Amino acid sequence: MSISRKPSILVVYPSYFYYVDRDEIKSSQLLLASYLSEYFPVEYADFELSIGHPSSALQIRRYKRRVRQILAEHRFDILAISCWTSLSFQASLITAEAARELYPDCLIVIGGYHSTARPGDFCGEDSPFDYVIRGEGETALKAIAEGFPGSGRPAETKIVEGVSLAPGDYVDVNWDLVDDILRSESPAGVRTLCIYLSRGCPFSCSFCMESLKDQKWRPYPVDRAIDMVRQVIERYHPRAVAFGDASFGVQSRWRKEFLRRLAELKPDCWLLMETRPELLDAEDIELLAGLKTEIQFGVESGSPEMLRLMNKTRQPEKFLADFQLTSRILSEHNIVHGGNLIFNHPGETERTLKETFAYIESGLTERQSSLMWAYSAYAHYPGNAIDSNRAFYEEKFGTEFRKIEWWLEEDNPIKASRQVIPSRDLRGERTMLWWHMLKEREGKIKNSLTPRAFFLAAESYFPEWREDPRYKEYEEN
Ligand code: B12
């Protein structure tokens, strides 16, 4: 195909199957579309919002038909599909196949974390994909789009290494691209909008594949970061603005300046962020105390041995002590915060589970805590350090990765990704030991929460707690 005008681009988030997540605007895809919209005509489509999450073979067939319909209603030269998490692999494939059938000459590009981890999954003789971009997509996709009018489709699928964007090239979010979606999907008001104030993460946790991308922490200048917060609040008045940064506020100078300016701005919505205990000191907490804030911490485990294995920190004892101290100061200021735990990471045993629960219990106080513990079982995503060192875990701990390429199958991907036996010690029914240990202590954990923290935990994470009289009591007051 040869065109003389600038090619038009449709950026698509294809959704995924069998699992319902938060239906919010996807920040990474919107940011990519925002960047491209400075150079090309761009449209944005989110099949999670427009079609949903099919959860049976019948619904998947319907999903296929809807995808075809939606694509047929759009005119584009380039289809940019985001296989952001591996969960979207099947949906990405269906979307690309439908587009190839409808528009044999269009260029189909795929990017996202799965493409970064397993670019080969999108190649092969029958592949509908023309380009697979690894890492950050902006500059690579811009170059491909610029070349497309002259060179057309490549003869076979090409894998391209994306170059990470320098802060000087950052763009603001182009909310116009999703304005219609936001207003039609949220007639009663927008709940959460997520923005990034930085890119990159200098840490290399075993279970996270962020380190496959550029590890340099690259923030927006503070002025622009504050402006983005102001803009999104003024435009949509959301219930919450989330900072989706892989690690919020890594540089102390940036963080302090940002938090000082944020305190001056006094946003009236909730502010959600995730960071590490050693990246928040008493001065930062003072600044946050006047705002409606919820801070998440990836604590991951209370076992020093597991924290070392997770490569979370080289000083696990200090990390755990830092978290307890930070959590206490946050509770003194009535700031709700979460401690996220991963159970059954490869290498987990009954002993390390006991260490984690002893750590949790050592911090429980009578109704004075604003710390909400949240937990999940280890899910195996390609591209993380565990994936590249599977043999180590298999030999040393007897770890079993039961569904090693789960995304290639049409099963429930969330269930399939969790088919991991962590160690010889936790086989069979003992794989659920963490769950039983947690249930035994849930009452005590619940009772340590302040009424406000209890209410917010029930609102956001534990719907079953809404049956508890404390929930109603707080709601009525
Ligand atoms: C923010 C975040 C979230 C937010 C998303 C908020 C939102 N509204 O979008 C929330 C909390 C909702 C979330 C949820 C989940 N997340 Co998450 N999340 C992240 C995080 C921290 C983002 C990283 C970041 O800083 N991005 C900044 C932007 C600029 O970079 P980017 O996201 O990589 O986007 C660039 C490229 O990917 C590329 N790109 C993306 N799409 C496309 C498309 C094309 C065509 C091209 C060319 C390029 C391209 O260009 C983008 C711009 O540069 C990462 C990593 C981490 N450290 O934990 C995990 C991460 C992405 N999440 C992950 C997972 C697994 C999940 C969940 C499944 C968890 C769960 N069990 O519920 C859900 C799924 C949500 C979903 N809808 O898909 C995994 C994915 C791993 C994998 N191999 O699939 C990651 C990598 C963490 C990990 N464990 O390794 N997440």
At 255-290, the pLDDT tens digits run 999 999 999 999 999 999 999 999 999 999 999 998
Structure token pair of residue 255:
């963080």
Pairing mode of beta strands 420-421, 400-401? antiparallel
* Residue 385: strand, helix, or coil: helix
Q: Is 199 in the pocket of ligand 1 (CB under 6 A)?
A: yes
Q: What is the pLDDT of residues 227-250, one digit of tens each?
A: 999 999 999 999 999 999 998 999
**What is the spatial distance between Cα 348 and Cα 344, in angstroms, rounded to a whole number?**
5
The reported pLDDT for the residue numbered 368 is: 85
The segment(s) of the chain belonging to CATH 3.80.30.20 are 169-476
Answer yes or no: is pLDDT of 21 > 70. no
As a whole number, mean pLDDT of residues 296-314 equals: 97
| pLDDT of residue 3 exceeding 90 | no
Q: Which fold, 169-476? A: pyruvate-formate lyase- activating enzyme (3.80.30)
Q: Cβ(272) to ligand 1 under 6 A?
A: no
pLDDT the model gives residue 476: 77
User: Measuring from atom 39 of ligand 1, which residue has the nearest CA?
Assistant: 112
Among 113, 185, 236, 241, name the best residue to mutate to test ligand 1's pocket (greatest count of ligand atoms within 8 A of Cβ): 113
> Does the structure show a pLDDT above 80 at 452?
yes
Q: Residue 249 class from Cβ within 10 Å (0-12 exposed, 13-18 middle, 19+ buried)?
A: buried
User: How many Cβ atoms are within 10 Å of 45's Cβ, its own excluded?
Assistant: 24
pLDDT, tens only, 321-341? 999 999 999 999 999 999 999
Q: How confident is the model over 368-397, as pLDDT tens digits? A: 899 999 999 999 999 999 999 999 999 999
* Rounded average pLDDT over 419-424: 97
Distance in Å, CA 85 to ligand 1 centroid: 6
Task: State the pLDDT confidence band at 364, using cuts at 50, 70 and 90.
Answer: confident
Q: Which pLDDT score is estimated for 460? A: 82
What is the position in ligand 1's atom list of the atom closest to the CA of 131?
A: 47
pLDDT digits (tens, 9 = 90+) for 156-167: 999 999 999 999
pLDDT digits (tens, 9 = 90+) for 206-227: 999 988 888 899 999 999 999 9
Distance 111 CA to ligand 1 centre (A): 11
The CA 447 to ligand 1 mean position distance, Å, reads 34
Provide the pLDDT for residue 407: 95
Alpha helices in 42-130 (DSSP H): 47-50, 57-73, 89-102, 113-117
Atom 4 in ligand 1: which residue has the minimum CA distance? 244
| pLDDT at 179 exceeding the cut of 90 | yes
CA of 97 to the centre of ligand 1 (A): 23
* Ligand 1 pocket, residue 382 CB under 6 Å: yes
Rounded alpha-carbon distances, angstroms, from residue 200 to 212, 248, 395: 10, 10, 32
* Mean pLDDT lowest among 296-300, 367-371, 400-404, 419-423: 367-371
* Cβ of 245 less than 6 Å from ligand 1: yes
pLDDT single digits (tens) 391-404 = 999 999 999 999 99
Evaluate: CB of 114 within 6 angstroms of ligand 1: yes
Q: Which of 13, 25, 28, 83 to mutate to test the pocket of ligand 1 (most atoms within 8 A of CB)?
A: 28
Rg (CA), the chain: 23
- Residue 276: CB within 6 Å of ligand 1? no
pLDDT in tens, 43-79: 999 999 999 889 999 999 999 999 999 999 999 999 9
Query: With 80 as the cut, is the pLDDT of residue 19 above it?
Result: no
Q: Is 53 helix (H, G, I), strand (E, B) or coil?
A: coil
* CATH 3.40.50.2300 residue ranges for the chain: 9-167
Find out whether the beta carbon of 119 lies less than 6 Å from any atom of ligand 1: no
Helices (H), 243-349: 252-265, 282-289, 304-309, 316-332
The whole-model pTM stands at 0.95
CB of 310 closer than 6 angstroms to any ligand 1 atom: no
Q: In angstroms, rounded to a whole number, what is the distance separating the alpha carbons of residues 365 and 345?
A: 28
Question: Residue 422: pLDDT band by 50, 70, 90 thresholds?
Answer: very high
CB-ligand 1 contact for 130 (6 Å cutoff): no
Residue in this structure with the two tokens 């320098």, named with its chain if needed: 166
What is the DSSP pairing of strand 198-199 with strand 218-219? antiparallel
Residue 22 has pLDDT above 70, yes or no: no
Is pLDDT of 1 > 60?
Answer: no
Residue 17: CB within 6 Å of ligand 1? no
Q: What span, in angstroms and rounded, lies between the C-alpha atoms of 64 and 300?
A: 38
Ligand 1 centroid – CA 113 distance (Å): 7
What is the pLDDT of the chain when averaged over all its residues? Answer: 94
CATH of domain 9-167: 3.40.50.2300
Tell me how far the alpha carbon of residue 84 lies from the centroid of ligand 1, in angstroms: 6
> How buried is residue 5: exposed, middle or buried, by Cβ count under 10 Å (0-12/13-18/19+)?
exposed
pLDDT at 272: 95
Report residue 155: phi and psi, to 5°. Answer: -65, -30
